[in-house]
Structure 1
Amino acid sequence: MGLNIPEDLAAWQRWQNSRSIKRQIMSRVRPSSNAPEFTLMVNGPEPRLLILIDVPTPSAVAAYAEPLRFLEGEQIAVLAPKDLSGMLAGQWTSRRLEGTALPRELRSVRAVFAAGHFLPAGAIGYRWSRELGARFVVAQHGLTTPFAPPLASGSHLLAFSEDDAEFWKSGRADVTHEVVGAQLLWHAAGRGRARPVSQGPTDTTPVFLGQLHGAELSRWASAKTARTFCLTTGAEYRPHPAETDRLSRLQHRSWQRRGVRFESSGLSLADLDRPVVSVFSTGVLEAAAAGRQAWVTCIDPPEWVSDFWSRYGLSMWGSEPTPAPPVPPAEPAQLIAASIARILEGTV
């Protein structure tokens, strides 16, 4: 299998909008002439690397910042919807951009590092990379499904695995790739090694990781699977942080009236020492990497879900837990930095 839409970004965006009533309404009422606003941050006068951050959450910023530990002394620019300099190590200057013309500070950029070109910062950064003749480098940040956005033409993909790279490329010859491993699984494995041995009984009640927000699976299938699993096993439901829309909140209240219990410890998923179950959440593989019990389940899973389970070695509920994925010999952030450094020096 591969992507459902391997090259046409506009077609992918139409599909994504079709999966959300809110997006459809916003695309009609928001004037198309309104250009997104960005803040540009630089740590030197002639940055050679531009990092694009569309979702300015602490976890997303950390994912981009980690490779910078291995690029010490490199001058870097960061483009984001708001000033993130307080979340980045070192000294940065920032300014709000007006318009989308290539900023004067970026004339020396040789590589652009992003999650893709499907969100505003990624889109404008990709356009600038073409204008500059810079390499557009895409880092994989999560597990891939057939509904992932297509890669930009000429991208260099830094993938978790060879299978992930071939899946995302979907037969395209214009995209190159390297395998660097998954930083999030590296961290999870480290947490598992550092976890103290329990001195008493632990809570073995499964936690079901919600995905009502996901566009990949119908809300009906996600909801039926979650409700049925929780009511038949006594598992607790943990809503995804994005489950804040009105329909999800109504669903939550309905489940609670029917006896579904919710996981409400307030702990991060990384600190939640409980078995986890989901349909296709990255959290299942993270839990397995940390040495915790983890499974997947789905009522009448579509073919792509079964393929997803097989590709990532995920175990179905009722079988042995998902085995821990292999840990790469080198930290993925270091391999990402090494790849970027080669591009900046023109050796690849």
Structure 2
Amino acid sequence: MALIHPRSLERWQEWRGSRRRIPGIHRVQIGAPQPAPGYVLHSRDGDGSARTLLGIDTADGAAHGGLPAVLPYVHGTVHVVTPAGVVPEELKGPGWRHERLSSPSAGLDRLGITAVLTLGWHLEVGRELHDWAHDAEIPGVVIQHDVLTPFAPPLPPEVTLLAWTEEDGAFHRAGRDDVEVRVVGSQRMWEARHDAAGAEADLEDRPVFLGQLDRIDLPRRTTLSAALSYCRSAGALYRPGAEETDRSSRIAHRALRARGIEFQDTTIPLAAQNRPVVSVLSADILEAAVRGLPAWVHAPRAPSWLDEQWARYGMRRVGSEPTPAPKVSADEPARLIAQILEGGA
């Protein structure tokens, strides 16, 4: 199964809107801090003629997709646009200047930008930066930041995709003749391999099932039944996903607890554990395999497209041999990306 919307962002957004939880399903926490309005341009001077622009929409670690990791390898001047209030640690050093913007693209024409890098144009900053770059005829680059499904957002027009694998590149650009693919690998997997190098610890017997009730590309009945069936059969702990905070998720959590399922403390980082890992479809499965942990996928009565995704990533079902570790290149993807952005590769 190919991308449901390979070109039209508007149609993809309509689909996404149709999959959102019904109005009122999220509870607003009174007194909770709200995101600051506006945007910020973070700038750091460098050597040479290259002037790279990065767009970061969220402070979520996984969603960064390796964007901040590129910064140490960029030799020229670099600018980063973020929403106000979203300031990754990598942008807080003494070499950075910060300027408020009224919109993500305000004043960019004066900077002499030579390349733009984002996670895509499905969020606000990325959308405006790619629209601006396209109009200004500046090369746009998108970095793959997660496993791909048929419900991934389409790529912006006339960009270069930095893919994890050849297979991912072919999948994401299918139906497009305006997208170039460069395979750089996954920064996340590269870091996982190097973090795990030399690490030795006894494997804990009790596995953990990674909750994914918040996925909009899978029916909740699929993700919930997968969690329930595996946790009951294997005595596994259930680890709620970071976005499982809405009312529907809380109801599902109560149902799991009522059936005797124990929950894992999510303050313990997943990467700090030494447990077998199971989920429906997640890059965490691949990362666990890279770290040397047994990892599987599990989803009884799953939609047919899920089998295709499991096969593309080499993810193995519960009951078979563990998922093999994906190939990780010797070159750090962040270094390769910086070279591509500055014209050195």
Q: TM-score, normalised by structure 2?
A: 0.90
Q: 1:154, 1:175 within 8 Å by CA — same for their partners in 2?
A: yes
Q: How does 1:1-348 map to 2 (within 5 A)?
A: 1-21=1-21, 37-44=38-45, 48-60=51-63, 63-72=66-75, 74-82=76-84, 84=87, 86-88=89-91, 89-99=93-103, 102-104=106-108, 106-198=110-202, 202-264=203-265, 266-342=267-343
CA distance in 2, matches of 1:196, 1:219: 37
Q: 2:201, 2:274 within 8 Å by CA — same for their partners in 1?
A: no
- Secondary structure of 2:79's counterpart equals strand
Q: 1:50, 1:77 within 8 Å by CA — same for their partners in 2?
A: yes
The C-alpha deviation readout for 1:50-101, integer Å capped at 9, x for no partner, is 10001123555582121122123x1111111125275324511112212465
CA distance in 2, matches of 1:165, 1:23: 36
- Secondary structure of 2:256's counterpart equals helix
Q: 2:65, 2:187 within 8 Å by CA — same for their partners in 1?
A: no
The C-alpha deviation readout for 1:97-149, integer Å capped at 9, x for no partner, is 12465415653001110000111001110122023221110000111000000
CA distance in 2, matches of 1:131, 1:172: 19
CA distance in 2, matches of 1:237, 1:5: 33
Q: 1:139, 1:157 within 8 Å by CA — same for their partners in 2?
A: yes
- Secondary structure of 2:299's counterpart equals coil
One-letter code aligned to 1:112? V
- Secondary structure of 1:21's counterpart equals coil
Moved more, 261-270 or 112-121: 261-270
One-letter code aligned to 1:262? F
After TM superposition, give the deviation of residue 47 of structure 1 in Å: 7.3
CA distance in 2, matches of 1:61, 1:181: 15
One-letter code aligned to 1:325? P
CA distance in 2, matches of 1:85, 1:189: 23
The structure in which a higher percent of residues are helix is 1
Q: Percent identity?
A: 37
CA distance in 1, matches of 2:3, 2:176: 11
CA distance in 2, matches of 1:325, 1:85: 28
CA distance in 1, matches of 2:260, 2:157: 50
CA distance in 2, matches of 1:265, 1:244: 13
Q: 1:40, 1:94 within 8 Å by CA — same for their partners in 2?
A: yes
CA distance in 2, matches of 1:82, 1:226: 37
Q: 1:52, 1:125 within 8 Å by CA — same for their partners in 2?
A: yes
